[in-house]
Chains A and B, each alone.
Chain A
Amino acid sequence: DTGVSQNPRHKITKRGQNVTFRCDPISEHNRLYWYRQTLGQGPEFLTYFQNEAQLEKSRLLSDRFSAERPKGSFSTLEIQRTEQGDSAMYLCASSVLTGKGYTFGSGTRLTVV
C-alpha cells in the first residue's frame, strides 16, 4: 500500500495559463475524489469518480475545470485559464467503499500569480 500520490506537490503559474494535476489512488480503490482547500477552511468537494465514471460534480467546478479518470486508474484535474481565485491546495482522495474513510494524498498547492 503506497498510499495516494499527487503530482506535482507545488505549482506556480501565471494567470491565464492552463495547469494539470495528477492523482494516483490506492490501486484497489475504485472511488476517487477531488477536493479543494483554501487557507483556514475545510476541504470543499469538487468531483467524484467510481471507476472511470464521473458520477458527481460540485457547482464549484466551473467550465474551466475538467477531470478525467481514464481506465479507472489515475486521475487528472485540469484548470484552464487560471485565475488568482484558483490558488488553493487541491487534494485527491480514494476509498474502497461508500461508508469507509478516505485516504488522502498530500495535495498539490497551486499559486496563481
Chain B
Amino acid sequence: SQQGEEDPQALSIQEGENATMNCSYKTSINNLQWYRQNSGRGLVHLILIRSNEREKHSGRLRVTLDTSKKSSSLLITASRAADTASYFCATDQSGAGSYQLTFGKGTKLSVIP
C-alpha cells in the first residue's frame, strides 16, 4: 500500500516559473524524503526533512513539513527544462519497526522552455 499521495498528478509550467508539489501521508513518520526520477531511470535523492523540522532548503529546492496535517510540499524555484521529471515523496517509518521507505505515485513535472 502507498503511504504518500502527491498532488497534482501532473504539472506543466514555463521555464523560470516556480513549481509546487504537495504530498500527504497517513501515519507517523521519522522523516520524509523527496526523490526525482527521469523517464525510465532510477531515482535520485533530493532532500530529507526530519519529523521535528518544519522547513529545509537545498539550492533551488524548499521543502516544508506539517506533521499535524501529515503533509509536505516541495517548491522548485526558477525552474529549468532539466527539472522535467517525476517527483516522489517517500516516508520513513523506521521507528515503527519497518525499514522501508513508502513512496507515493508521484507528480509528473513538465518544464516548457
Query: What is the interface of chain A, defined by CB distance below 8 A to chain B?
Result: 4, 6, 31, 33, 35, 40-45, 48, 50, 55-56, 58, 89, 91, 93, 98-107, 109
Interface string of B37-78 (1 = CB under 8 A from A): 000111111001010000000000000000000000000000
Partner of A106, one of B42, B50, B88: B42
Bound complex: CA A10 to CA B45 (Å): 23
For B106, what are the chain A residues with a Cβ–Cβ distance below 8 Å? 41-42
Cβ of B14 within 8 Å of any chain A Cβ, yes or no, is no
Q: Are A105 and B42 in contact (CB under 8 A)?
A: yes
Interface string of B72-112 (1 = CB under 8 A from A): 00000000000000001010101000111111111000000
Q: Are A99 and B105 in contact (CB under 8 A)?
A: no
For A93, what are the chain B residues with a Cβ–Cβ distance below 8 Å? 43
Name, among B50, B101, B103, the residue most crowded by chain A CB atoms within 10 Å (CB to CB).
Answer: B101
Bound complex: CA A105 to CA B40 (Å): 12
Bound complex: CA A70 to CA B98 (Å): 22
